[in-house]
């Protein structure tokens, strides 16, 4: 769990440094009860373009439809940095961030 917390902080800090605090929102994940998963969303060039949900073992990261429509990222591009990236049934790219180093890779993808 400490590694996930460090990963969480690294990703938030990188995005905040690049885009400011107003572009980050956090709310309970759909279906979550009090004290459960949080859905953190990033607004870069498009609203709600990225999100992640922290779990006990990793951050489940989403490249959401608004960002995909923007055309800057694709599944092939994300797979270059995260080989486990896949398209979920909702048409969003998802991948797991398991370490601080991977958080830096994710930040480089979304902040570039």
User: What DSSP assignment string belongs to the chain?
Assistant: -HHHHHHHHHHHHHHHHHH-GGGEEEEEPTT--TTS-EEEEE-SSSTT-EEEEE-SS-EEEEE-HHHHHHTS--HHHHHHH-TT-EE-TTS-EEEEE-SHHHHHHHHHHHH-
pLDDT digits (tens, 9 = 90+) for 82-99: 999 999 999 999 999 988
CATH at 70: 3.90.1150.20
At residue 72, the pLDDT reads: 84
Task: Please determine, for residue 31, whether its predicted confidence score (pLDDT) is greater than 70.
Answer: no
Can you give the residue range of the structural domain that contains 23? Answer: 2-111
pTM for the model stands at 0.73
pLDDT digits (tens, 9 = 90+) for 45-55: 556 678 788 77
Number of domains in the chain: 1
């Amino acid at each position: 769990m400490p590694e996930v917390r460090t990963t969480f902080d690294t990703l938030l800090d990188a995005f905040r440094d690049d885009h400011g605090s107003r572009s980050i929102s956090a709310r309970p994940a759909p279906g979550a009860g009090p004290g459960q998963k949080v859905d953190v969303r990033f607004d870069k060039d498009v609203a709600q373009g990225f999100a992640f949900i922290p779990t006990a073992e990793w951050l489940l990261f989403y490249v959401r439809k608004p960002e995909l429509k923007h055309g800057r990222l694709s599944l092939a591009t994300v797979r270059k940095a995260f080989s486990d990236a896949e398209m979920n049934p909702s048409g969003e790219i998802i991948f797991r961030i398991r370490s601080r180093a991977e958080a830096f890779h994710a930040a480089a993808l979304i902040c570039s």
